[in-house]
Amino acid sequence: MSSEQPAEAPAAGNPLEGRITKPDESQPAENTEATENTGDDNQTDGAAAERGGSDLHEPDYTVEVKLSDLQADPNNPLFSVKKFEDLGLDNRILQGLSAMNFRKPSKIQERALPLLLSNPPKNLVGQSQSGTGKTAAFVLNVLSRLDLSTEQAQKTPQALILAPTRELARQIVGVIQVMGQFLDGLNIGTAVPADTNSRPSRMECSVVIGTPGTVMDWIKKRIMVANKLKVLVLDEADNMLDLQGMGDQCIRVKALLPRDIQIVLFSATFPAHVHQYASKFAPQANEITLQHEELTVEGIKQLYLDCSDEEDKYKTLVQLYGLLTVGSSIIFVKTRASASEIEKRMVAEGHTVASLTAGIEGSQRDAVIDQFRAGQAKVLITTNVLARGIDVSTVSMVINYDIPEIHGKRPSERQADFQTYLHRIGRTGRFGRVGVSISFVANREEWNMLNQIQQYFNCSIQRIDTKDWDEVEDIIKKTIKNTRAQGTFGK
């Protein structure tokens, strides 16, 4: 079985210019674009209660639509919808939406759903920040296109959703289970790296969610039959289509699928070189962009702590432990080895922590993330494998134990990885809540990388003095207790 590309570090040799998306790099407006300034209406996030559902309060967004049909008018009411009932959906899907607490479409769904659900099906490339309802949008499209009328159809893969990690794949499965709970005959399968000797002999399901390497392997070995697939979705598409990462695997998977398949790409960020490639991967696609005025994440208090060396980093982390368990916390480190070492030391000292990296077997990874979601483990140490897409609404703090950096080159100075920093801290402050991110700085190079991040995002990351832990606790607790984001911190 082929293994997945590691998600622990940015791809080697990828130029810095291709890894970042500044506000002025958004795609230029054309005559075929419609721009809509949206209000601040409240909207529930659609996650089931057992999956940490919470209130989503959308800030002001600008929705841009670019249609592949140059003769079409993107301002036409047909390309926007205010109620799910206006989409002509199966009543059982509407029941599922109601069970998810969706009362009306979110901003991205208003414009994306009419384009996704149109017939004949059209490709779509969508850029939308986390927590705006994009997962529910592509799941709704998938469910609406399934034929579940016969037992054979129910066992035949008709839709394929690709994600970069098994954790994100399992999270998408949860959304499908809730939204499709009233659809008789809906069978869901997962194609992720399996534990030793636990690979299925055949995929008998209507929807498959998986990671690219495993899906490619299973199609080639005829474990999964692909000739009836109608829809291909790539979540976190910028990461998936990075030619230095999983791009080759995605190309090979697409080559094994029917030529007339509908291709849907969604991502929170689209660096310029990936956007260009996405338009080739999904030709003649409609494009929709939910652009926020600021790229920095609102509602996240960004702090840093000075540490004298690596050992002092660890001591500072232990000192923070009491605050880490106020809600749930994620500690991001550079390598699997450091994650394992920190976990061993903290457990030996009587602290309850869990560790999750790509080096752990699948079932163990599943158990760890499930314990974290359920609140049985409140502190999770991980690598960049969990930096993208994972939604756990109770996460109130993110620790950058190691500042994310570009690997594989030998520059004159270490380069911060801006996109990974943004994705990491975005694991907190979910759905309008307030969160805290704390970066540890132990030497001049790490300080330089932190400074690069501040300059790039035009933000101020506040220093807190570890000599006064009462003050540290006061700052962090006050922030976590806030229930709503109060604008962009550090401005």
Helix H, strand E, coil C: the string for 143-184 is: HHCCCCCCHHHHCCCCEEEECCCHHHHHHHHHHHHHHCCCCC
Q: Are strands 124-128 and 286-291 parallel, antiparallel or unpaired?
A: parallel
Sketch the domain layout of the chain as residue ranges: 63-294, 300-484
The pLDDT of residue 289 is 82
The pLDDT of residue 43 is 38
The pLDDT of residue 78 is 62
187 neighbors 206 (Cβ within 8 angstroms): yes
Write the DSSP symbol of residue 416: B
| Residue range 271-322, pLDDT digits in tens | 777 788 888 899 999 998 865 444 445 668 899 999 999 999 999 999 888 8
Answer whether 0.85 is exceeded by the pTM: no
Write the DSSP symbol of residue 372: H
| Residue range 478-487, pLDDT digits in tens | 777 654 434 3
The helix or strand, by DSSP H or E, that contains position 462, with its residue range, turns out to be strand 462-464
Poorest-pLDDT segment among 143-152, 188-197, 457-466:
188-197
Domain made up of 300-484: CATH architecture: 3-Layer(aba) Sandwich (3.40)
The mean predicted confidence, pLDDT, of the chain is: 78
| Residue range 181-226, pLDDT digits in tens | 999 999 999 998 875 566 778 999 999 999 998 999 999 999 999 9
The packing angle between helices 362-374 and 166-179, to 10°, is: 60
The pLDDT of residue 198 is 66
Among residues 17, 23, 24, the alpha carbon closest in space to that of 406 is found at 17
The pLDDT of residue 56 is 43
Q: Where are the beta strands (DSSP E) in 222-337?
A: 231-235, 262-267, 286-291, 300-306, 328-332
Q: What is the mean pLDDT of residues 373-395?
A: 80
In CATH, the number for domain 63-294 is 3.40.50.300
Largest Cα–Cα distance in the chain? Answer: 68
Residues comprising the chain, all counted: 491
Binned at pLDDT 50, 70 and 90, residue 420 comes out as: confident
Q: What is the mean pLDDT of residues 327-343?
A: 90
